Amino acid sequence: MSGKDKGGIMSKLAETGQHIRSSQAWSSIFRPGSPFRDGYSDTPRNRSYVIMNNVLYHLHPVKVKRHGVRLSYTLCLGGLSFFLFILLTITGIFLMFYYRPTSPQAFLDIQALATDVTFGQVVRNMHRWGAHAMVLTVFLHMARVFYHGAYKPPREFNWVVGIVLLLLTLLLSFTGYLLPWDQLAVWAVTVGSNMGRYAPVIGDQVSFALIGGTQITPDTLLRWYVLHVLFLPFVIVIFMAVHFWRVRKDGGISGPL
């Protein structure tokens, strides 16, 4: 009796689901070929449709070279760099809710993450370890591209774009390093930015503009915060867009060796 009743509810649910999936609103959201549409079947045509009718079409072509999807070719390193960037954006936005770029509040806010904020510490950890990991994956990605000779024509320019991305990644990491405003942060940044001061002609000026004075002060904190959460992510996203676009325009992943 009860089993029969349950079946009734289930079939009602299924019916409702079907009804929703065949509604005009639903099919206006999911374009043809989407697995979320009513009656998706795994056909070659639908496999193409999934990409063609998807925002991912901006990143991926419908078909890719078979050797390019082998993990042993790219080691997923470029992709991992990108995923890490996305994770860093998400965790970074979370951290921004609890962080004020002033002294001493910056330090106290970071401290409070461990005690006062649900998941605060773990999100901070993810942001920090993720940032270090990204420096590493970007570097390894560069090495893998080199060893494959994947910078050779027609991909020369994408290598140069890659170098810009490497620099931007380092700058993002370096500007973020100051934000906890503890002894580690200010002295690591002091040592690091002192190196740039020796540049001929412009060294002093560049260093003055970046640090916002002749030495690190709370003004530096605000300046680097804005660079870290706004300016550098904005620039790196633009360069990533060019990078991904060029990967496709240059004929996809470089050929097998």
Partner 1 sequence: MAGLPEHLLRRSAEAKAKATGRPVEEILAELKGEAPPPAAGAPSAGSGPVRDLAKESADLGVPEDLLRRAMIARAKKDGTPIPGEPGAAPVAAAGTAPVAAGSPAPIPTIPEGVRTQRLLTVVKAGAIQQTKREPADKVNTWPHLLAIEFVALLVLTGLLFVFSIYVDAPLLEFANFNQQPNPSKAPWYFLGLQELLSYFDPMVAGIIIPGYGLAGLAFIPYLDRNPSVRPSDRKLAIMIFTFFVMGAAILTTYGSFFRGPGFNFTFPWVDGIFFDF
Q: Give yes or no for residue 223 binding partner 1 (CB under 8 A).
A: no
Tokens at residue 200, please? 């001929």
C-alpha gyration radius of the chain: 24
Q: Which does 77 bind (CB under 5 to 8 A by kind): partner 1, ligand HEM, none?
A: ligand HEM
Output 26 or 245, the one with its CB closest to ligand HEM: 245
Binding-site string for ligand HEM from residue 78 to residue 107, where x marks contact by CB under 6 A and - marks none: xx-xx-------------------------
Taking CB under 8 A as the criterion, the residue among 6, 12, 58, 63 binding partner 1 is 63
Tokens at residue 94, please? 């979370």
Return contacts of 239-244, CB within 8 angstroms, 24+ apart: 239/161, 239/164, 239/165, 239/168, 240/82, 240/85, 240/165, 242/161, 243/158, 243/161, 243/162, 243/165, 244/59
Q: What is the residue whose two structure tokens read 């962080």?
A: 99
DSSP 8-state secondary structure symbol assigned to residue 255: P
Q: Give yes or no for residue 61 binding ligand HEM (CB under 6 A).
A: no
The CA distance from 8 to 31, in Å, is: 31
Q: Which does 81 bind (CB under 5 to 8 A by kind): ligand HEM, partner 1, none?
A: ligand HEM
Taking CB under 6 A as the criterion, the residue among 33, 92, 162, 180 binding ligand HEM is 162
Output 81 or 193, the one with its CB closest to ligand HEM: 81
Measuring CA to CA, which residue among 63, 31, 65 is closest to residue 48?
63
Q: Give yes or no for residue 136 binding ligand HEM (CB under 6 A).
A: no
Q: Give yes or no for residue 132 binding partner 1 (CB under 8 A).
A: yes
b (16+ CB within 10 A) / e for 70-80: eeebbebbbeb
Taking CB under 8 A as the criterion, the residue among 13, 20, 56, 96 binding partner 1 is 56
Count of beta carbons in the 10 Å neighbourhood of residue 236: 19
Number of chain positions touching ligand HEM (CB under 6 A): 26
Q: Give yes or no for residue 155 binding ligand HEM (CB under 6 A).
A: yes
Give the range of 15-23, 102-110, 155-163, 188-196 binding ligand HEM by CB under 6 A.
Answer: 155-163
CB 197 within 8 A of CB 249: no
Q: Which does 111 bind (CB under 5 to 8 A by kind): partner 1, ligand HEM, none?
A: partner 1
Measuring CA to CA, which residue among 238, 230, 217 is closest to residue 106?
217
* Interacting residues toward ligand HEM by CB under 6 A: 74, 77-79, 81-82, 138, 141-142, 145, 148, 150-151, 155, 158-159, 162-163, 165-166, 169, 240, 243, 247, 253-254
